[in-house]
Amino acid sequence: MVPANGRTFSVQFQDPNGQKREINVYLVQNSRKVLKDGLLKRSKRRWSPLPFNIIENDVPPFPKDVDLIASDSSATRSVYYTISGPGVTEEPVGVFSVVMETGMLRVNKAVDRERTPQFVVSSKQQLLIALFDRYTNQETDLPLPITVNVDDVNDNAPTFTGLLQFTVLEQSKAGTMVGMVNATDIDQRGTDHTKIRYSLLSGTNLFYINPETGVISTKTDTLDREVNDNYLVTVEIRDMNGALNGLFNTATATIVLGDINDNPPTFTKTSYDVKVKENQGEGLILRIPIEDKDLVKTPNWNTEFVIQKGNENGNFRIERDPKTNEGLIYLIKPLDYEKTKNLKLEVLARNQAELSGTKAQWMSIPVDVSVVDEDEGPEFTAPTVLFTVKENTPNDTLIGTYIAIDPETKSSAGIKYYKVSDPASWIKVDESTGQLKIANNIDRESHFVTNGVYNVTMKAVDASLKTGTGTVIIQVEDVNDHVPVIPSKDLVVCEKDGGEMGSVLVVAEDKDRAPFAAPFSFELGEEHDGRWAVKRLNDTAGMLEHTMELPNGLYTVPLMVKDLQGFGKTQTVMVRICRCRNGACLAYQNSTSLGVWAILAMLLALCLLLLLCESLMFYYVHSSYLCRPDRLVSEPLDIRCNITYCNIFPTIRLVLGCSLWTNNKMHSPFFTSSFTLSTWSLQKLAYLGTREEGRYADDIIHAYGFEGVGSPAGSVGCCSDQGNQEDLDFLNTLGPKFKTLAEVCNNKK
């Protein structure tokens, strides 16, 4: 029985060349149609030849017969065959043809399997063979797709893929993987044509390659980068599983050895000697070369240096030269031959990385430093010396001695002493002995003294003119040479309502320091008038208040301020009692707001009032004189007023005289005005002549006199003081002007 339609199976066989082949068998059931009347009708036959096989890259001559395609129809009919599709009428064109009479399939040229492994592509691109009746030219069977397989031949050698460069650390254990060789073969997979075998043609004493995987491994643990840092090995790849008839390729693989720190740095010498002058400044004194076989410019090669011994005083510093890897020893503190003539250093060299794969240890080397003696300048017995001196100590007083010695001779003989710095010139130095004495009065409160300390710089000079310097620190002790003083002696007491007494704060200062300064005591001076009292408020201030109601005005109060030791003096303060606003007298504020020109306008109004009174009298007495035609004045008038005095009576008359000026000519006075001052007023004027200038313009009567040209005080006319229109302090301190007037009146008594 034939299985169901569409079943397939394959038959494998071996051709004469020993190649395995496979034929696919397709089973097709005969197709018969059943008519409606129940009769059977045979359909066209579906003939199905087996797939055909050809060998790629076959050699001429061509064409060559592939196989015969036959149909049952050819037994009963005269037929012919045609073929079309890929390999015939489609690319690659002309590969196949068919003998029309016999149905023999032929190949006309060589085929590359790697390009076209099979000539059945799709339903639309099939190799079709058709069968036709010769006489009717009708198809006797349905067109049949056929398959032509291109059998592979080993025509492609395997090729390498990827880089053939690998790295492995030196001294790696045997069996350590180095890398993997990759290869490929484009022949048919699953055949010996693509079965690759790997082998090493060189370097087999050090490396091994897995023949199936291509993995390269080490065969020894003796690989030494410092002996040979890379190896070149030849790798072969061969198909046919390595058979002698297999195709092959070779290539060179580079194996680089990675570095490990298996070599410590070594010194080129066993020891070093270096000479250094005493007192030599900072600088490089020695270079120590280093050798290291490890990879340059890596932590395995970079060296770190340590001074393990001999640098307890910190005289040296060692560091690495980044370019040469040398050790550099620097002197950072001067050496003293008299203290140390020789120093033995021990220098250790090690890498930045720890040692590995070796039993070696870090190495060290001795460095002998010899100090060379030099003629040094004298040295003071101490860099600084402290002396305590009271201020105001008498001149020529010895405060101490500061000497130097020669470091070589340990003697002070022949050394001279001089001052380098003495800002206030308070000290004199004995050139031969180094004795220090007072040259001028020492004042602790001087700006040359800072926190009670005064410094003098000295130098010592030996016979060879070598010098040494030292500092004398003078601690200035305070004495009670200053009394407390009241820096502000002009005080204001604001008037109180309801009979309450006013008070004002009095603050004192003392340049001395404790215990010659605060706390202060405050009391009234012996000449006080009993109208004031003072009490201590704190260490530096007291509160002054009046003990009875006093009218507004200026008062003089003597105050005694004493320091903690009872040392003080009586000082006079000026206290003004007034109505205040914001702590300032209202009178002062009002005058400030009034302005100088307003006050001058008031004075001018007074002059005009007097002028009006006198004009009436003048009109009646001198009308005939003034009205004379020859006395009429056509030019503008300039009236000027002078304040004068007359001493023709036992009382003083203040006279205001006014004159006409025309064309810069002064005419005779045309009126005078006067009023009489009492004897009391005369006494007050005399009193003013004996007082300080600061007392003028207070609540007392003032007299004015015509002083004329050249007066030291200047004019007291109505327009003589316009310097600062807003500053009305002149109302309180009009000293020179009023003093002159008072002196004149006093002399005329």
Distance (Å, whole) CA 652 – CA 649: 7
In this prediction, residues 69-95 reach a mean pLDDT of: 77
3-state secondary structure of 628: coil
What pLDDT is stored for residue 670 in this prediction? 39
Counting every residue written for the chain, the total comes to 749
Q: What is the pLDDT of residues 297-335, one digit of tens each?
A: 999 999 999 999 999 999 999 999 999 999 999 999 999
In this prediction, residues 661-670 reach a mean pLDDT of: 42
- Judge whether 8-151 and 159-258 match in fold: yes
Task: Kindly report the number of other CB atoms within 10 A of residue 710's CB atom.
Answer: 6
Stronger pLDDT, 464 or 198, i.e. the higher one = 198
Distance (Å, whole) CA 254 – CA 326: 34
Q: What is the pLDDT of residues 241-294, one digit of tens each?
A: 999 999 999 999 999 999 999 999 999 999 999 999 988 999 999 999 999 999
175: left (phi over 0), alpha (psi -120 to 50) or beta: left
Q: What is the pLDDT of residues 365-382, one digit of tens each?
A: 999 999 998 777 898 999
Q: Are 208 and 217 in contact (CB under 8 A)?
A: yes
Q: Does domain 159-258 have CATH number 1.10.260.40?
A: no
Evaluate if residue 218 carries a pLDDT over 90: yes
Q: Does domain 490-591 have CATH number 1.40.20.10?
A: no
What pLDDT is stored for residue 432 in this prediction? 92
Q: Write down the domain spans for the chain.
A: 8-151, 159-258, 266-372, 385-477, 490-591, 595-747
Task: Kindly report the number of other CB atoms within 10 A of residue 455's CB atom.
Answer: 15
Bridge partners (DSSP) of residue 133 are: 79
- 56-80: buried (b, 16+ CB within 10 Å) or exposed (e) per residue? beeeeeebeebbebbbebbeebebb
Token pair recorded at residue 50: 């087996």
What pLDDT is stored for residue 44 in this prediction? 45
As assigned by CATH, the class of the 385-477 domain is mainly beta
Cα 244 off chain centre by: 75
Output the CA torsion 384→387→391→397 (10° steps): -120
Q: Phi and psi dihedrals of 132, rounded to 5?
A: -125, 150
What pLDDT is stored for residue 501 in this prediction? 84
Domain 8-151 in CATH: superfamily? Cadherins (2.60.40.60)
Stronger pLDDT, 588 or 444, i.e. the higher one = 444
Q: What percent of the chain has pLDDT over 70?
A: 67
Angle made by CA atoms 245, 247, 249, in degrees to the nearest 5: 135
In this prediction, residues 415-442 reach a mean pLDDT of: 93
Distance (Å, whole) CA 740 – CA 743: 5
The chain-wide mean pLDDT, for the chain, equals 77
Token pair recorded at residue 633: 């004045």
Domain 266-372 in CATH: superfamily? Cadherins (2.60.40.60)
In this prediction, residues 559-580 reach a mean pLDDT of: 89
pLDDT category at 60 given cuts 50, 70, 90 is: confident
Evaluate if residue 711 carries a pLDDT over 50: no
Residue type, 39: L
Q: What is the pLDDT of residues 155-165, one digit of tens each?
A: 899 999 999 99
pLDDT category at 725 given cuts 50, 70, 90 is: very low
Output the CA torsion 382→383→389→394 (10° steps): 90
Evaluate if residue 406 carries a pLDDT over 90: no
Question: Is-above-0.75 flag for pTM?
Answer: no
Evaluate if residue 628 carries a pLDDT over 50: no
What pLDDT is stored for residue 14 in this prediction? 63
